[in-house]
Amino acid sequence: MNRTTRPTARATGATRRAALLGAALGLLALTACGGPAVSLPAAAVAPPPGTVPSQAAAAPSSPAPGSAAASPQDPGSAASAAPSAGAGKPLAGRTVVLDPGHNPGNADHATEINQQVDVGNGRKECDTTGTETNAGYTEAEFTLDVSHRLRDLLQGLGATVLLTQDGDRPWGPCVTERAAIGNAAHADAAISVHGDGGPASGSGFHVIMPAKVVAGKADTRPITDPSHRLGLLVRDDFQKATGEGYASYVADQGLDTRDDLGGLNLSTVPKVFIECGNMRNAGDAQKMTDPQWRQQAAQGIADAFRAFLTGS
């Protein structure tokens, strides 16, 4: 995440099947992260991308850092849906949307991801490249791996799980489209998975929740309270599972409230972001490149979703 753009302010329904995504919205938006080591040059504003979410096909958890992403596909295909594991499981009948931050191909599509999109209370870049460790393990690789692990755990609990992208499109999607995928699915809850790009001296994780925003296309009033409950659960269960401390360089006790993130501003379902650690910090980077730690991270988030969706 680019620290220079962070503001200082602190600040539901029957599920539907994944087939609803065939008519997903073509909105575009902003992302949360991106370290200066992989920043892109400014580019001319391009026309908005296609209006249909990407196909995010099921894929196994990445075995280790640096593994290859899936081959890019047509960005106009439908978003992926993993079928529910069926009745008799605590999350049967529930739909969860996972939003792996950034895309492995973003770095090759500066013009597309630099275009400005409407996030309700302003205009922001469609997406960014994200950050990376000093050794070159990218945030896009990390977020896909954790999301795959999290998807598997939630499916095991009976949930229907959708990914906003699975490394299967050349770039993006813009985060307004990421929000639109969750909205179109009438998801019970959603989370955007990230790794931060903060100062090398800072360590730890934090959870970002939506502020109350009523502007343009954005109205977060219906989701702020449930998102706050989800955020508290994610913070507590993530820390319990991983042992990671709260971020020492941003947020307050591991919680932050923001009004500048399109993925939150435009969501109509309860949603939070998690910055799982600071990839620019040597200690955090060592953890985040460890597959066992990434499994623990996924387990912590899954535990939070189970508690949130069952009220337990």
Choose the catalytic residue: 139, 141, 244, 275.
275
DSSP string, 126-159: S-----B-TT--BHHHHHHHHHHHHHHHHHHTT-
How many Cβ atoms from other residues are within 10 Å of residue 304's Cβ? 27
| Residue 73 and residue 173 in contact, taking contact as beta carbons nearer than 8 Å | no
| 143/42 Cα distance (integer angstroms) | 25
Identity (one letter) of the amino acid at 300? G
Q: Which residues, in sequence order, are CB contacts of 206 under 8 Å at separation 6+?
A: 196, 235, 246, 247, 250, 251, 254, 255, 256, 274, 275
Q: Which of 237, 250, 170, 167 is CA-nearest to residue 208?
A: 250
User: Is 141 an active-site residue?
Assistant: no
Residue 138 region by backbone torsions, left for phi larger than 0, else alpha for psi between -120 and 50, else beta: beta
What's the gap between Cα 11 and its chain centre? 20
**DSSP reduced 3-state for 205:** strand
Q: Could you give the residue numbers annotated as active site?
A: 275
